[in-house]
Amino acid sequence: MKHARRTLRRIVRLAAVGGLLCGGLLVSNAVADEPAGTRAGGNGASGTPGTSGASGAAATGAALVERLGTSRTAGTWIGSDGLPVVAVTDEAAADEVRRAGARPQVMRYSMRELRSATETLSQSSRVAGTAWAVDYASNKVVVRADSTVSAADWSRMSAVARDIGGSVEMRRTEGTFTTRVNGAAPILTNGGRCSAGFNVTNGAEQFILTAGHCGPVGTAWFAEDLSAGQIGTTVAGRFPGNDFSLVRYEEGAAPGADANIVDIGNGQAVRVTGAADPVVGQQVFRSGSTTGLRSGQVTALNATVNYREGSVSGLIETTVCAEPGDSGGPLLAEGIALGITSGGSGDCASGGTTFFEPVTSAMNALGVRLTGAATAAGEAGGGAREGGEGGASDAAPAPSVPAAGGIAAPGPGAQRTVTGIVDLETLIPGLVLIVVSVLGLAVAQSIRTEKASYRNQYSQSWG
């Protein structure tokens, strides 16, 4: 009996300790905080943002693609195990990828061939309601047509795809590709509602960086509380072609110390520590004034969408949902700014596809930088628009006082908790496991206490 009790106690104790370790790991992974490289700087003024996790894998893959060239590679993405995957066209390139610590995947078409296919599609008569992007994993240019595309237009686009060859795949998709006017914090105009993206500056003035389709130059913007008066005016931007604009804050309307904070709803916010280009397979988060905080993955870069208002190229394609009013809102990961919401199809009830303007390209075109945040190397441009069409370089520059705009902070006196982004699907099981493990340790201790009590009683009974 004594031996059985001791064995049971040891088993319970070991299981509880293991549960604590596993639960702690789950809780740790559930919080998408800023990269370690930025923590030392506090406000992100020092350190190199985006050098951990997905960013490290992205850097490895991008370096290999650059070294091997577009005729021997066909893109890079982050695998389900977190390792970089590089598509290559020959075994010699595959061996080089392995030596660098990445995983090769031999494909039929090179990036040069895939880009040629997208250029041919762009030169054809564009059809509203269609979109295309290079799908690295399938090694094809995937053309999607929404429910508004007629049978005649579908037939015509299919003929173009057949002429290009096997590198193009046609797909029908549900819903309609639309911009999302109607985010972070809401900003209002006579034409509808959008979401503030990121606060940026040119060193002289403060701006909100948001979507270009939200309003042309001269558009007046107001906070959700209309009694607060006008908060800014659109002074530069581009749409279609690209999808970004600058809203210059009115005097006294800029957010001040909270300029690099993004609202994610429920009184919480995330501090932005820098900007970078995303990588295919990366886990990302979006905030918008209609649907709040949503998450998903990057599925393609340099995507083209043909809205009814015109075509936009060089976009980030994701599985994150969005709805009207989310336009212009921020896309981020680990506290790093990645993009601003452009449009897409579907909704947050059934899911869908959402496209984002890369924040690095938009800021480079407008001559601004994030307010109060460091800048990642990716901001030099090119990552999300590699080989892209209609790049931001030819966008209308900001006026002589252009600057940054961005995350519209709540009104004066509003209280928010600056926090990391939490994945509740991982956090809750982790917390449950920790609680059960603590109870297990308590049970093990009670068994030991019971044993000691029995010994005392036994010794007393024998004098």
Residues 288-329 have pLDDT tens digits of 888 889 999 999 999 999 999 999 999 999 999 999 889 999
pLDDT band, very low/low/confident/very high, at 19 (cuts 50, 70, 90): low
pLDDT-wise least confident of 9-23, 130-144, 318-332: 9-23
pLDDT at residue 282 tops 70: yes
Mean pLDDT, range 433-461, rounded to an integer: 62
Catalytic residue among 110, 195, 213, 361: 213
163 catalytically annotated: no
Distance CA 237, CA 246 (A): 6
Q: Given this model, what pLDDT does residue 269 score?
A: 81
Q: pTM of the predicted model, to two decimals?
A: 0.72
pLDDT band at 399 (very low <50, low <70, confident <90, very high): very low
Question: Averaged over 431-451, what is the pLDDT?
Answer: 66
Give the active site residue among 243, 258, 263, 326: 243
**Is 327 marked active-site?**
yes
Mean pLDDT score of the chain: 78
* High-pLDDT (> 70) share of the chain, %: 66
Residue 138: active-site member: no
pLDDT number for residue 262:
81
Whether the per-residue pLDDT at 62 is higher than 60: the answer is yes
What confidence tier does 178 reach under pLDDT thresholds 50, 70, 90? Answer: confident
- Cα 359 to Cα 226, 275, 338, 350, 369: the distances in Å are 28, 7, 5, 27, 10
Q: Which of 167, 287, 313, 327 is catalytic?
A: 327
Q: Distance between CA 156 and CA 167 in Å, rounded?
A: 17
Contacts within 8 Å (CB) and 24+ apart, 423-426:
423/29, 423/30, 423/31, 423/32, 423/295, 424/30, 426/26, 426/27, 426/29, 426/30
- Is the pLDDT score of 452 beyond 90? no
